[in-house]
Structure 1
C-alpha cells in the first residue's frame, strides 16, 4: 500500500469515508474498477505503478483490475514511455470504443443529439431548431437522427451502446408568459410527458434524465476547465439561465436532482418588481430585443457560434447580464465558499469572454462584506455542453466514480 501522502487527493482514500453503507467483496471490486477508470479519464494515460500510487492500492491489485478491464475492451495499452532508467513503463489508456453513449438535449429553442465515445469525443451529432418545443416534433427528430447515425455503426460499435442521457430544463412547461414566444399550451404539453418512458420506447436503451444545466456542468467538469477547481458554481446561459454545483471535484445533483437552480435566484425588474435571474440574464431577453427591432431571433439558435452583425443589440444585453451575474455570484458564495464561478452559454466564445470580463469589473464594485469574492472564469465547452453532459451520464453511471455519492444519501 502506498504512503497516504502519495494518494491522489481526488480519488484516493478520502472517498471511502463518504460511503454510507458497507461494501461486499464484489462492491469493493467494482469501486476500485471505477476508481482506476476515473483516474485514467481525468489524468490521461498512466502506468500501473502510478495508478497504484494515486489510488492508494497495492500494485498486484491494480494489475489484476487492469487486466480485467483490458480484456473487457474498456482500456488499452499506450506506447511505452522511455527516457528513464530501467524498463520502459506502459501507460494504460481509456479505450474510445470501450463504450458509446447518446446524449439528447431538449431546449426551449433547439434540440441536439450527439453520439459520444468513452473519451468524450463526439462521433456524430444532429441539431433541430424551432420556435417552440412541440413534443411530437422533438421525438420524431430523435427517432430519425438515431436511425441515421446508427446506420453508420458496425455491429461491434452497436454492442457498445450503453444508454442515452436526456438533458431538459427543470419544469420545461413552467415559464412566465412574458418570457415565452407562442401559446403557453405548447410548453404545458410537456407537463404530462414521461420523458424516460418515451425515450426508452423509441430507443430500447436505458435512459437517464437530468436537468440541462446540471448536464452542462457535468460536461465542463469532465471535459472542460472544471478540473482546475475543487468547489465551484457553474452558470450556463441558454434560452434561460441555469447552473450547477461542484463539490469535491464532482457535480452535486441534490436530493431531487435540482441542485444549482441558479436561474431562480431573486432579482429586481426595471420597475422594482420581484423577478428571477432567469428573467433578467437569459438569451430570451436578447430575443425580445431583436424582435422589437424587426430582426429574426432564430439567428441566435441557427448560428450559435456566429453572432456577427448583432453587436448593436448584443452589447446592451451583455451589460445587463453582467450586472445580474455579478450580484448573483455573491449571493451564491454567501451559501458555499466557492473558489470560482464558471460562466458558459449557448453563444460564441468571444461573447463569453466579453461577458466574463464585464462580470469581473462589476464584481469589483460590489459590497463584499463578510464574503470572499470568487474568481470569475469562462467555461470552454460552449453550446454543446448540455448534450455532451447528457451523453456522459450513462457512461459515468456505469464506469466512473462519483465522489459525492455519499452526500446524496438521505
Structure 2
C-alpha cells in the first residue's frame, strides 16, 4: 500500500492526532460490536473500569462517541451503552475502475453520506483527478460547516497494475500508460491537504466486507470480488492480510485453463469482461452492465452460461485457496445486482461438490454483503483505520 505524509488536521476529532492504543482498542470494540456498556468494554478489553471510564470521558469530549439511554431492570446502577458517533469522523473513498470511477463520503458508522459515479471507456488520469477534485467539493458541502474538519483523509482503490491487460478490455496501451508512474499523493495535494492512502481495489473491497459487512462473522476467510477483472483478499484473525507487497489475495492471478484448454489465469475465465464480450457478440451495448441503477433484465440467455462458467471456475479457485490456508469460509461479491450475486454463490456451492477436496475441509461459500460500493467503501476505511482503529496486519503508518 502506498501512503502520503499525513498532514495536520485542525480541530474536531483529529486535534489530538493519532489516538493512543487503548482509545483505539475501545473504538474498535464499539465498531465491531455496536454500543456496549462501560463494564462490558472493560471486561472484553482487559482494561480496568476506571481506565475505561477515563478514556470514554475523553472520547465523548472529542465528539467520537455517544451515550445511549440507560438500560434498567437489573440489580445495581443502570447500564449505559456507549457507541460510535456517526459524525465523529468521515473519510472519502475513491474507486478507480476500468469501466467507471466512484467517489463516496463515509461516516464513522461506515454509511455513505453521498456518492458520485461516472462511467468511462477507460480511466484517464487527469479526468479522474478532475472528477475527484469536483467530487470532494460537492460531497464536503453536504456536511455542516462545523463538521468538515472531521474528514480524516482520502482512500484510493485502484487495480494492481492499472495499465496492464489493455487487450482484455479493448483499450490501447497508450490510453493507460499514464498510470504506470502516477503519484497519487503529489497530484491530489494540488487541491486537497488531506492524507492519501492507496491500495489494490480488490483488497479494499475485502476490507469493506471485513469492517462493515459479513466478514465480521468469520475469523479467517478468502474473498473474491468479480469486477471487470476478478480480484480478492485474505482475512486472518479478523484482519485483512496485505502481504509483503500489499498484493496478498491476488486471486485473479490463480492459474487455470481457458475454454480451449490453454494455460490462463482466473482473470481470463471468471471476470465481467467476458460477459461484456457476450453482449457485444449479441449486438448489445456492453456499457449497459455498468449503468446505474442496475438493469440487467432481458439478458438471462447471456448471463446464465456466464454464471455456469464462473461458478465452476470459482469452485476450483476456492479449493485452491483452502489448500494453502485452512479458511472457514469463502466470501464472494461483485459489481453486479444482488440477485446475480446470489445466483453465482449458488452455482459455486453446487460445483464445489464436483471438486476433489481430499485432504481439505470444505469451506462455507457465502455471499458478500456490500456489493458494488465495496471498493470505494473499503478505500474510505483506510483513513479511519489509520487514525482511530486497530488493524494488526495493516501497514497504515503514512510514509
Q: Same fold (TM over 0.5)?
A: yes
Equivalent runs, 1:162-173 vs 2, <5 Å = 162-173=152-163
Aligned to 1:107: 97
Task: Tell me if structure 2 keeps the 8 A contact 1:103–1:164.
Answer: yes
Q: Which of 295, 302, 311 is the equivalent residue of 1:313? A: 302
53, 76, 79: which one pairs with 1:86? 76
> 1:100 touches 1:157 (CA, 8 Å); kept in 2?
no
Shift of the 405–133 alpha-carbon distance from structure 1 to 2, 3 Å rule, reads closer
Structure 1 residue 254 displacement after superposition: 1.2
Q: Are the structure 2 counterparts of residues 180 and 223 from structure 1 closer, same or farther at C-alpha, using a change threshold of 3 Å?
A: same
Do structure 1's residue 95 and structure 2's residue 85 form an aligned pair? yes
Alignment-derived partner of residue 11 in structure 2: none
| Displaced runs of 4 or more, over 6 A | none
Let me know the Cα RMSD of the aligned residues: 1.8
**Cα deviation digits, residues 211-233 of structure 1 (max 9, x gap):** 10011001101111001100000
Alignment correspondent of 2:10: none
Higher relative contact order (CA 8 A, sep 6+): 2
CA contact (8 A) 1:102 1:163 kept: yes
Partner of residue 194, structure 2: 205
Which residue does 2:55 correspond to in 1?
Answer: 65
Correspondences of 1:93-242 after superposition (within 5 Å): 93-175=83-165, 178-242=167-231
Separation (CA, whole Å) in 2 of partners of 1:202 and 1:272:
50
The answer on whether the counterparts of 1:100 and 1:162 sit within 8 Å (CA) in structure 2 is yes
Alpha-carbon distance change, 151 to 29 in structure 1, aligned in 2, over 3 angstroms: closer
Deviation at 1:369, TM superposition (A): 1.4
Please, what TM-score do these two structures have when normalized by structure 2? 0.92
TM-score, normalised by the number of residues in structure 1: 0.90
What is the CA–CA distance in structure 2 between the aligned matches of 1:333 and 1:395, rounded to whole Å? 31
The C-alpha deviation readout for 1:305-324, integer Å capped at 9, x for no partner, is 33111111111111110010
Q: How many angstroms does 1:85 deviate by? A: 2.1
Residue of structure 2 aligned with 1:267, choices 246, 256, 262: 256
Q: Which runs of 5+ in 1 are unaligned?
A: 1-25
**1:282-321 residue pairs with structure 2 within 5 A?**
282-303=271-292, 305-321=294-310
Q: Count matched residues.
A: 381
- Distance change >3 Å, CA 391–CA 405, structure 1 → 2: closer
- The answer to whether the Cα contact below 8 Å between 1:304 and 1:348 also exists between their aligned partners in 2 is no
Aligned partner of residue 73 in structure 1, secondary structure: coil
SS of the counterpart of 2:163?
Answer: coil
Q: Could you tell me how far 1:198 is from its partner in structure 2?
A: 1.6
Residue 29 of structure 1 and its aligned partner are, at CA, apart by: 7.9
Residues in 2 aligned to 1:210 and 1:240: alpha-carbon distance in whole angstroms = 16
Deviations 1:351-400 (A, max 9, x none): 00110011011100111111112111000100000000011110011100
